[in-house]
Structure 1
């Protein structure tokens, strides 16, 4: 899909200024004017651990996300890559500074990390200052029916074009308390979210689209 004429080329982007000891190099930085962003949501050790702690689709989704990140990093004009880290409560698998909280993929120096307290990664974080409203956002990560859904909806409300990749987002089985406590398999929940997101305006892609995803279009 060709980018709109209003989108800005990534050629004009400069690296963040050097940080002084103890400073956040992104704190005073203006919104990035990339026309593409790769948003990795909660790609953390707890989520991609061996089930049942990790998501059931982890053995497939984990490698797929790794492939997407690799393609983004080696693109001729890489997108802005942002790692969103979920901050769980005390005792949760993703409790801050516990093993499950750490990111699976070590961010590079120019890849910001955003710690989010809520499902919506834009809420009470600096994420919105890193992404211009004209940017195209590629979303991958966990959990489909919580963080991924809420963040995609928030991005659409900002005016961003949002792309969600099948096979690169996942969640857990759902306990339907309102339906006599039946269990809906995670794979079905993921498909429900894909349909919901597509109806809301998100563009769904497949892993087969990856070779051209970060090429100039």
Structure 2
């Protein structure tokens, strides 16, 4: 795993300015990427993912650990923009982030599963950075973004219990339903085979420590 580097974050935004316009990605060699950690996905089921009651608090613990680390990682919030009428349609309550970003934590809006697609995410994260990735949905945004990061050369860390999805309707298989918990495990196997490192919540105390 990469050594952390305590870069100085840019100042809070002034009106009409982008404080990240001049950001140099090598300032941070460790990143916490929160993908679609939004109210719609982490609401009480069935509106939210089945594992919301577990995954939501776990993501909160990870974020708090990152913010309180001696050398905090770069923390980036990625917000999914759903279509009109969807729970995460821009501007509606479900679209809002669960966690209020701090002034030095950038927020990016995405339209594709891959958070690197048509966003500035790649300008904030250097290919040598270690990325801790949490959020929703495991079989869409998380899987696509992890694969893109691995292809860039990033070391990707996934924590069991810190990503989630919905039950999967198997339309091509007579309309059977695969439980979300099984889908999440399938994605973990796929990402580990692709090169991601799987960790447990028990590993959290050392996750953002110098090493």
Normalising by the smaller structure, the TM-score range is over 0.9
Q: How far apart, in 2, do the equivalents of 1:19 and 1:37 lie?
A: 20
Query: Is 1:216 matched up with 2:210?
Result: yes
Q: How far apart, in 2, do the equivalents of 1:43 and 1:201 lie?
A: 24
The gaps in structure 2 that reach 5 residues or longer are: none
Measured after TM superposition, the shift of residue 31 of structure 1 is: 2.1
Measured after TM superposition, the shift of residue 159 of structure 1 is: 0.3
Equivalent position of 1:10 in the other structure? 5
Which residue of 144, 147, 155 maps to 1:153? 147
Q: Contact conserved, 2:130 with 2:157, CA < 8 A, in 1?
A: yes
Q: CA RMSD in A?
A: 1.2
Q: Contact conserved, 2:34 with 2:77, CA < 8 A, in 1?
A: yes
Which residue of 44, 68, 84 maps to 2:78? 84
Q: 3-state DSSP class of the match of 2:25?
A: coil
Equivalent position of 1:128 in the other structure? 122
Measured after TM superposition, the shift of residue 17 of structure 1 is: 4.4
Measured after TM superposition, the shift of residue 70 of structure 1 is: 0.4
Measured after TM superposition, the shift of residue 45 of structure 1 is: 0.3
Q: Contact conserved, 1:83 with 1:111, CA < 8 A, in 2?
A: yes
Measured after TM superposition, the shift of residue 18 of structure 1 is: 5.3
Which residue of 138, 161, 182 maps to 1:144? 138
Q: 3-state DSSP class of the match of 1:196?
A: helix
Measured after TM superposition, the shift of residue 163 of structure 1 is: 0.4
Q: How far apart, in 2, do the equivalents of 1:89 and 1:158 lie?
A: 29
Q: How many residues align?
A: 211
List structure 1 segments (4+ residues) > 6 angstroms apart after TM superposition: none
Q: Contact conserved, 1:37 with 1:135, CA < 8 A, in 2?
A: yes
TM-score, reference length from structure 2: 0.97
Q: How far apart, in 1, do the equivalents of 2:76 and 2:15 lie?
A: 22
Query: Is 1:113 matched up with 2:141?
Result: no
TM-score, reference length from structure 1: 0.94
The gaps in structure 1 that reach 5 residues or longer are: none
Which residue of 146, 165, 185 maps to 1:171? 165
